[in-house]
Structure 1
Amino acid sequence: MTTIVRGGTVVNADRSFRADVLCHEGKIVAVGENLDTPAHAQVIDAGGQYVMPGGIDPHTHMQLPFMGTVTADDFFTGTAAGLAGGTTTIMDFVIPNPQQSLLEAYHTWRGWAKKAAGDYTFHVAVTWWNETVHADMGTLVREHGVNSFKHFMAYKNAIMADDELLIKSFARALELGAIPTVHAENGELVFQLQQELLKKGITGPVAHPLSRPPAVEAEAANRAIAIANVMNTPVYIVHVSCAESLEAITRARAKGQRVYGEALAGHLVIDDSVYRSNDLEFAAAHVMSPPFRGKHHQAALWQGLQGGNLQTTATDHCTFCAEQKATGYDDFTKIPNGCGGVEDRMAIVWNAGVNTGKLTPSEFVRVTSANAAQIFNMYPRKGVVAVGADADLVVWDPEGTRTISAKTQFAKGGFNVFEGRTVRGIPTHTLAAGKLVFQRGELRAVEGAGRHVDRPAFSPFIGAAMQRA
């Protein structure tokens, strides 16, 4: 199939320029002004609009079994919603149970993902350790295109990684040319604070942020960064939500340490007042970890994106319906953690970032696509409008508006944390592998059309153990 996107302004992470974009058989084959239109080509008029690389959401959880239930969005509905919002690739998480083979879990997730409408790739969590895990990590890198491993420093008595596991897994990742990623919260502190709050009779959603204050996130971020420094490995901190964690990242980067940070769209615009609502359903719907923070933390996160100490934006898309959340109204520790956002991230970041002058359009491309592609070794297949790249494109109307609502969203779960916000700057067309999958409100997602994206290992990092893996 041949498609030409005509008359727009191409925006990449390094520059913007007027050009047509010609796509054929899933790839971009020409970028330039006044390109000839091949016979029978589909023509998309991008006049007055931007043409940008499709968004990459580096943090989603589709069809995730978690806290005794399963998320509302599966790989089809979740990726389809992403396409409607201009996100063409998701990075999801394989999360093995303790003592479960990493390979077994990986193949389970690959099976679930066969129905995806957009492209997908996986981080694999390391939730326990022995020689089998050591071997599985090697197989995943060499044979299955995995180059990142996730570590949860939270969720005691479930999937929490202690320091021994972090050290062994970080060292193994370094040998293999893979990058460790970290959910930074001190799980022991969270557990103890949860128990104290319950004993005091503070049992509703209002207790959730009280059990996970910024200090518990900052401690874990500092610890993960210190371990990575000693092990001489890079590290990627997911969903940085507070100024204190950002400060830890900034200090390390200033000293030359290779540390990357991710901000969630929700953390950039939503504050912790949501938990103090008298509406239990509303408050519980916002329960995620780390929780939403006070407004000064939002300002810090924007500064992190502007200054380059936070490189990516994500959603941690993990949807649960009201009935699922209701199981924890009387015990906040039982509320399934997670919120949506894969459909709205691009518009939220544009509206709150570009429209306010915090980000330029090229910086927007960096934090929504290009940086994730580069950090996780998908560039230049992803993250750029250039000859040879995948034909994943979003045609963006900077003056178009949309009021976000659960009633009109494509994502499941029946709730939207951005409910009622009117955003200026929206996608009019989304192309995935050169196929038009979204056009002016009409979703044309096809179940199973998404492809797994293999991510090659990095060259051995400086200081890597020179031993046979």
Structure 2
Amino acid sequence: MSILLKNGTIVTSTDEYVGDILIEDEKIAAIGKNLLLEADQVIDVSGKYVLPGGVDQHVHYSFDYKGARVQGFDTSNAAIVGGTTTVIEFVNQAPGKGIAETIFEYEENEVKDVAMVDYSFHGIVCEPSDELFKEIPSLVDKGLPTLKLFMAYKGLPFHSDDEAIFKALKAAKDVGVTVMIHAENADVIDILQQEYIAKGLTDPYYHALSRPTLVEVEATQRVIHLANLAGAPVYIVHVTAKEVMEVIRDAYIKGTPVYGETCTHYLMLDKEDLARPNFEGAKYVCSPALREEEDREALWNAVNKGWLNAVSSDHCGFNWEKQKTMGIDDFTNIPNGSPGVENRLGILWTYGVNTGKISRQRLVDLYATTPAKINGIAHRKGHIGVGFDADIVVYDPTPVSIISNETSLQGVDFNIYEGLKQEGKVDKVFLRGQLAVEDGKYVGRLGQGTFIPGKPYGLCYEGFEKKEELESVL
């Protein structure tokens, strides 16, 4: 099956031009102007933008918080109607099992027959034993080149202390595994939470007050020091605030290979959303917590200038009525996380590109190209080029709509962007050459997604090499 897309405005992370794209089977076979080629189907996309399919490097389809489990891959059609064709899922190490064993059992049982987007995985360390650290080198042969550790969540299975992080960094650096860190000081958070609860201050707003910016700043500084001691690169996920971003930026300038992402909700929302009445604030409980309006502006500036190099959704599909309300009398029991995979591209386009905060090329870099590089899948994903997977989004810039959970495919009972305007829409999406979205509606099939093995030595190791060169000069 061959498809010829004609006259679209093709946008990559570096270019923008009007041209044609020939898709043959699953790959991009040719790109050019006025291509005189035969195809089984010719589609005129004049007046529309043609983007690479998005890569969302931070989603949760298997997360469990105190017994509440998120919506799974059977809702991943929400990702593709939002312009994301590849997601990278965080999988918690199962008790008594290794990282790879946990991931591939999960894929077999809950992913491969239902995924509607392509997917890769990050392993999450829950049992930081010597066996775990010995397993890290073998992950690269299984297409698993990333690992995540949580400095937050004291007392929960996925919390890691400094010893575990340091050992993971040392084991990972020799084989090109990228270590990702959720950076918050768990001990300080635990003390502050107990103090608020003891005073009867149990509303969702105190979730934010018990996780102030400084707990994220301190943990980020600490893990950068650990990475320097280990001689390893490190990636900080979901950066929320100006001060945290500046810690990462300044360390990188000094030669430390440290990188970070932010998320759409940190660009759009702030902690006052947690003060909404009638327990509505629980919908906005995520960790790290939402910050201040001035932090939002600083983060937009950071992603524009490259100080943070990706925008993810941190999609976490808890329901409000039956799951978030677990914490109605104690904010520490509110499941942390909110849905958002469906809205990432629309938010970046409307409130980034159309307000002049970022260019279209920068959008592509943040939502597709750099996430693919970070996670070792840039040989197939995140770019419109000959030989790449034909993951293509056709974006119509003209329609204007209102974001509403009524039309969402995320499978939960709320949307944190409810009522916001969206300019433009995802018109068509091709996943490896197969039409999966038509006129903004999902037309694909259950199980159309496939595992995309990642390669080691992703983007973070470019900085690592620079650091090694710097040290050799000094």
| Interval of TM-score (by shorter of Structure 1 and Structure 2) | over 0.9
Q: CA deviation at 1:160?
A: 1.1
- Measured against aligned partners, the alpha-carbon deviations of 1:192-244 in whole angstroms (never above 9, x if no partner) come to 11100000100121211011110101111111111112222111110000111
Instruction: Please tell me the residue identity of whatever aligns with 2:150.
Output: F
> Deviation string for 1:243-269 (max 9, x for gaps)?
111011111111122111111101101
2:26 matches 1:2 = no
Shift of 1:130: 2.1
**SS where residue 176 of structure 1 aligns?**
coil
1:390-423 residue CA offsets vs partner (Å, 9 max, x unmatched): 0001011122222110011111111000001111
Tell me the residue number matched to 1:74: 72
Of residues 286, 289, 302 in structure 1, which corresponds to 2:287?
A: 289
Instruction: Please say if residues 261 and 310 of structure 1, whose CA atoms lie closer than 8 Å, have aligned partners that are also in contact.
Output: yes
Match of 1:401 in 2: 400
List, as ranges, runs of 4+ consecutive aligned residues in structure 1 with deviation greater than 3 Å: 97-100, 459-464
| Alignment map for 1:181-260 (pairs within 5 Å) | 181-260=180-259
SS of match in other structure, 1:82 = helix
Structure 2 match to 1:21: 21
2:125 and 2:149 in contact (8 A); partners too: yes
1:95 pairs with 2:92 = yes
Q: Comparing 282-291 with 108-117, which one deviates more in the overlay? A: 108-117
Unaligned 5+ runs, structure 1: 465-469
Distance 1:203 1:195 in 2: 10
Letter matched to residue 74 of structure 1: G
1:353-412 deviation per Cα after TM superposition (whole angstroms, max 9, x unaligned): 101111111011010101111122211311110000000010111222221100111111
Structure 2 residue matching 1:10: 3-state secondary structure: strand
Deviation at 1:69, TM superposition (A): 1.6
Residue by residue, what CA displacement relative to the aligned partner does 1:87-113 show, whole Å, maximum 9, x if unpaired?
000011111146542233212322222
Corresponding residue of 2:472: none
In structure 1, what residue type is equivalent to 2:186?
Answer: G
Within the alignment, does 1:445 sit opposite 2:444 as a pair? yes
CA distance in 2, matches of 1:367, 1:298: 16
| Count of residues in Structure 1 that have an aligned counterpart in Structure 2 | 459
1:126–1:169 Cα contact (<8 Å) kept: no
- Write the mapping of 1:134-153 to structure 2, written as runs, cut at 5 A: 134-142=133-141, 144-153=142-151
2: CA distance, partners of 1:257 / 1:399: 43
Q: Is the 1:185–1:219 Cα contact (8 Å) retained in structure 2?
A: yes
Tell me which residue corresponds to 2:313.
315
**Contact 1:128–1:165 (CA under 8 A) maintained in structure 2:** no
Equivalent-residue separation in structure 2 for 1:376 and 1:218 (angstroms): 25
- For residues 36 and 70 of structure 1, the distance between their equivalents in structure 2, rounded to whole angstroms, comes to 52
Give, as a single letter, the amino acid of the residue that structure 2 aligns with 1:345. Answer: R
Q: Give unmatched runs, 5+ long, in structure 2.
A: 469-474
Q: Is the 8 A contact 2:425 2:440 kept in 1?
A: no
In the other structure, the counterpart of 1:346 is: 345
Contact kept in structure 1, 2:48 and 2:397, CA below 8 Å = yes
Partner Cα distance (2:350, 2:182) in 1: 27
The aligned counterpart of 1:32 is 32
Match of 1:56 in 2: 55
* 1:125 match: 124
Deviates more, 1:302-311 or 1:439-448: 439-448
Amino acid paired to 2:432: A
Report how far residue 37 of structure 1 moved. 4.6
Task: After TM superposition, give the deviation of residue 63 of structure 1 in Å.
Answer: 3.1
